[in-house]
C-alpha cells in the first residue's frame, strides 16, 4: 500500500506528488506527467500559475490510469482571472478535463492580504468544497499570521499548507502551528539545499546519514533520499519536479528505507537552521 497522510477532513494524500511547476513552468507537461504516473506516482500537483493545466490533464488521460486512483491538486493564481474563485476553478477543471480536483490551494496570500480579502477568499474556498468541486481545500506559502486570519471565521480548517524548506530556522514555528491545527505540511523544492545551495552545513549530516542507511539497507542511498526521508518522518508530503524515470523511481523507493534516527533528524534541523535560503515566493515573506 502506498504511503499516504490523512488530512483533517479524512481524505488521504499520497506522500509523493509530481509537480508541474519549476522546470515545466509554461511548458507542455504531457509526457512528464504520463511518465510519472506510469512509474507509480498517483499524486499530481498543478497550478493556474504554471500555465500548463491542459497538458497536465492530457498526461493524466494518456496514462490510462482511472481518475479515482489519482490525487490531483491545482492552485488558485495569486491574482484570480475571474470575478469569483469558483469561476477560476471551473476554468481549471475544463483545462484538466476533470469534474473535480482532490485538493485546491490558495497559491499565495499576498494579493488577498493587500486587498483585505483573505477571509472572503477562504469563504469562497469553503463553498467550493461544499459543492464538491474540490474534495479538500488548503493554502500555500501561508505564515502563522495568514492562517490565524482565516481561522478566525473559518468553518473548515485548511487541510494543507504547502511550503518550501531550507528555511527551517524561520519555518519551525510555522510547522509546529500547523501540526497543532492538524494541517498537513506539503513540501516543494525540498531538495534545494543540495540542488540549489550545495556546500552548506547540512551536506555533511546528509552524507553521514546516507552512508549509514546504505549499509543498513544494502543499497546506495542518495542525499536527496535522506532529505525526502526527513520530510516523510516530519509528516510532510513531498512534491518532486524531476521527470527523469530513474530519479522518480529512486524517490519512490525512499518510503521503504530504514528510518532516520532522532539524532540524525535533529542534526539536519540544527545544521539546516544555520543557513537561510529561500528560492521561491520570496515576496510573500518580504525577502
**Active-site residue list:** 50
CA 5 to chain centre: 12
- 83 — phi, psi (to 5°)? -60, -30
From the list 46, 55, 42, 51, the residue with the least C-alpha distance to 20 is 46
For residue 176, give every residue at least 6 positions away whose Cβ sits within 8 Å of its Cβ, in sequence order, or none: none
∠15-17-22 over CA atoms, to 5°? 140
Q: Is 107 annotated as a binding residue?
A: yes
Cell numbers describing residue 284: 510573500
Question: How many other β-carbons are positioned within 10 Å of the β-carbon of residue 232?
Answer: 21
Where would I find the beta strands (DSSP E) of the chain? Answer: 4-6, 12-14, 16-19, 43-45, 71-76, 101-106, 134-140, 160-163, 184-188, 237-240
Q: Is 88 left (phi over 0), alpha (psi -120 to 50) or beta?
A: alpha
Binding residues for substrate, as ranges, are 107
Amino acid at each position: 500500500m502506498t504511503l499516504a497522510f490523512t488530512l483533517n477532513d479524512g481524505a488521504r494524500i499520497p506522500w509523493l506528488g509530481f509537480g508541474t511547476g519549476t522546470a515545466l513552468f509554461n511548458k507542455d507537461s504531457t509526457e512528464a506527467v504520463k511518465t510519472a504516473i506510469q512509474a507509480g506516482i498517483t499524486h499530481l500537483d498543478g497550478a493556474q500559475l504554471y500555465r500548463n493545466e491542459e497538458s497536465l490533464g492530457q498526461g493524466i488521460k494518456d496514462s490510462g490510469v482511472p481518475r479515482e486512483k489519482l490525487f490531483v491538486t491545482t492552485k488558485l493564481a495569486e491574482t484570480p482571472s475571474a470575478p469569483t474563485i469558483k469561476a477560476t476553478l471551473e476554468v481549471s477543471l475544463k483545462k484538466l478535463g476533470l469534474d473535480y480536483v482532490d485538493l485546491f490551494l490558495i497559491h499565495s496570500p499576498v494579493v488577498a492580504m493587500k486587498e483585505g480579502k483573505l477571509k472572503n477568499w477562504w469563504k469562497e474556498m469553503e463553498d467550493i468544497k461544499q459543492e464538491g468541486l474540490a474534495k479538500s481545500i488548503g493554502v500555500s506559502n501561508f505564515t502563522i499570521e495568514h492562517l490565524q486570519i482565516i481561522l478566525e471565521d473559518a468553518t473548515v480548517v485548511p487541510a494543507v499548507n504547502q511550503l518550501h524548506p531550507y528555511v527551517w530556522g524561520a519555518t519551525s514555528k510555522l510547522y509546529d502551528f500547523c501540526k497543532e491545527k492538524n494541517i498537513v505540511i506539503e513540501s516543494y523544492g525540498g531538495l534545494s539545499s543540495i540542488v540549489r545551495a550545495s556546500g552548506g552545513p547540512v551536506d555533511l549530516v546528509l552524507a553521514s546519514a546516507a552512508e549509514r542507511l546504505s549499509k543498513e539497507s544494502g543499497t546506495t542511498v542518495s542525499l536527496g533520499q535522506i532529505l525526502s526521508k526527513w520530510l516523510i518522518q516530519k509528516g510532510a508530503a513531498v512534491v518532486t519536479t524531476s521527470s527523469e524515470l530513474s530519479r522518480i523511481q529512486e524517490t519512490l523507493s525512499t518510503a521503504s528505507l530504514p528510518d532516520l534516527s532522532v539524532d540524525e533528524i535533529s542534526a539536519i534541523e540544527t545544521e539546516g537552521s544555520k543557513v537561510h535560503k529561500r528560492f521561491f515566493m520570496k515576496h510573500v515573506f518580504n525577502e
